[in-house]
Amino acid sequence: MLEISNEKIDYKEINEKVHSLKTLTPPRNARRLAYILILLLFILIGILFLPWQQNISATGKVTALRPSDRPQVVQSAIAGRIKEWRIQEGQPIKKNDTLAIISEVKVDYFDPELLKRLQEQVAAKREGMEASQGKVKALDQQINALQDAQKFSLEKARNKYEQARLKVISDSANLQAEQVQYGIAKNQFARYDSLYRNDGLISRTDWEKRQLKLQNTYAKVVALQNKLLISKNKLINARIEFNSLIADYTGKIFKSQSEKNSTQAYVANARGELSKLRNKYANTEIRSQQYYVLAPQNGYIVKALKSGVGEMIKANEAIATVMPANPSIAVELMVPARDVPLIEKGRHVRLEFDGWPALQVSGWPSVSVGTFGGQVKVIDYIISKGGKYRLLIVPDPEQDGNWPKQLRAGSGVYGWVMLKDVPIWYEFWRKLNGFPPSLYEEPSDDLQGKDGKKKKKAKN
């Protein structure tokens, strides 16, 4: 009461006089409800201190760990027309089974005996090239023969020139000796002529003999001069013949060498054309094998991407989808970039597959029902479309890693990457403030880590 008045009220006296006040007592149900609410409050406070395992949630799909185990499309290596289908959708197949047969659509390959004709062209070109190679060998022999003949002819001409030179020297010496004789005869005739004309000491007969001797000596000098001139001309002719032989044989050798080079050029060109023909033959032979579209591995035909018979297909165009028979199942989860630094290889993951009923309490994996265990196998180094990073999850042998055998590639998956245990109140407080989860240890610098091992680092 406010007690504004100065008079005091005696409530005890009022209670004794008023009987109805004595009959008013608190109901039992209200008291019980209060006890229950207080108990629930204490239980709620206790729950806030229970451990909660932090996690990173992500969605994804079922895939295969190895690229060879993922669904793939079978393509036709060449353009053509579908001639026959050998399979149907859902059918199991083995490696190298024929899926479809296609027929040719290019005019260049319509000839049914094209390989035979190409082989004949290859043989003809090879024979022509071998003949040209034989001609090259013959020209080599001809050039060697010309070089040998040139050597012998030049040696003969050189000897002839040397003989002419020696003849010139000999004739020159004879001429000089005869000129000396002519000089002596001339002097003797002059003395005899003086004796004959002035003193008459000798007879005319002796004078005439001396004159005849002088004339004979002069005649010999003239004859030797002519002989020396002829020897010099022979020497010049020998030199000219020597040079002519060099020019003649050099021209013949160059001509044979030029013909040899032309033949070698033809052989090289023929070798290139032969290589092209062989390449064309090999390509045609391999192309003829591409008429049968074969299965790349054991598996199942998922879907035929082309229908009917006679439909045209382009080169490298897919005609069917194949699922490998026994793929190494993995899960592909996409996590935001902000959570990637918190994840390392070997982290435990809980998975919930579409089609398998599950009750998942992300913070208490031990009480979850219908979920399956896994561990991080691969973390991509580059970001994917949508601004997320891809994780590849494989079964965890330390947990219940036996995933359902009925899993199909492409099925939806919801996963939780498990982190550190913290109190529930801390988790509420962290999410309200937008703080990142806590870690047991700092993640490895190498996001991929080492197979089957975690790298332990103490957090500073």
The 10s digit of each residue's pLDDT in 285-308 is 888 888 899 998 899 998 888 878
pLDDT at 455: 40
Q: Residue 116: is it exposed, middle or buried by C-beta count within 10 angstroms (0-12/13-18/19+)?
A: exposed
**Apex CA 395: angle with CA 393 and CA 401, to 5°?**
145
pLDDT at position 62 is 92
Lowest mean pLDDT among 137-146, 226-235, 286-295, 397-406: 397-406
pLDDT digits (tens, 9 = 90+) for 364-389: 565 566 688 899 999 998 888 888 99
pLDDT at 334: 92
Range with lowest mean pLDDT among 5-14, 158-167, 401-410: 5-14
Whether 15 shows a pLDDT value over 80: the answer reads: no
In this model, does residue 456 exceed pLDDT 70? no
Instruction: For residue range 336-356, list pLDDT tens digits in order.
Output: 888 888 888 888 888 889 888
pTM of the prediction?
Answer: 0.56
Percent of the chain with pLDDT strictly greater than 70: 82
Mean pLDDT, the chain, whole residue set: 81
pLDDT at 52 over 60: yes
- In whole angstroms, give the CA distance from residue 186 to residue 192: 10
pLDDT in tens, 131-189: 888 988 998 998 898 888 888 888 888 888 888 888 888 888 888 888 888 888 888 77
Predicted confidence at residue 22, as pLDDT, reads: 54
Tell me, what DSSP letter sits at residue 19? S
Please count the other Cβ atoms lying within 10 Å of the Cβ belonging to residue 358.
15
| Ordered DSSP codes for 37-51 | HHHHHHHHHHHHTSE
Residue 423, φ and ψ in degrees, nearest 5? -65, 155
Distance CA 104, CA 92 (A): 28
Q: What is the mean pLDDT of residues 108-135?
A: 88
In this prediction, residues 393-418 reach a mean pLDDT of 84
- Return the pLDDT at 348: 86
Give the residue, 213 or 248, on which the prediction is more confident.
Answer: 248
- The least confident of 23-32, 316-325, 413-422 is 23-32
Q: How far apart are CA 160 and CA 165, in angstroms?
A: 9
C-alpha closest to that of 279 among 125, 134, 106, 128: 125
Residue 270 forms beta bridges with which residues? Answer: none
Mean pLDDT of 6-24: 55
Instruction: With CA atoms as reference, report the closest residue to 255 among 388, 143, 119.
Output: 143
Q: Is the pLDDT of residue 400 over 70?
A: no
Determine the average pLDDT of the residues in 247-274: 89
CA dist list (Å): 214 to 96, 188, 195, 404: 120, 9, 16, 144
Res. 284 pLDDT band, cuts 50 70 90: confident
The C-alpha angle with vertex 286 and arms to 284 and 287, in degrees rounded to 5, equals 60
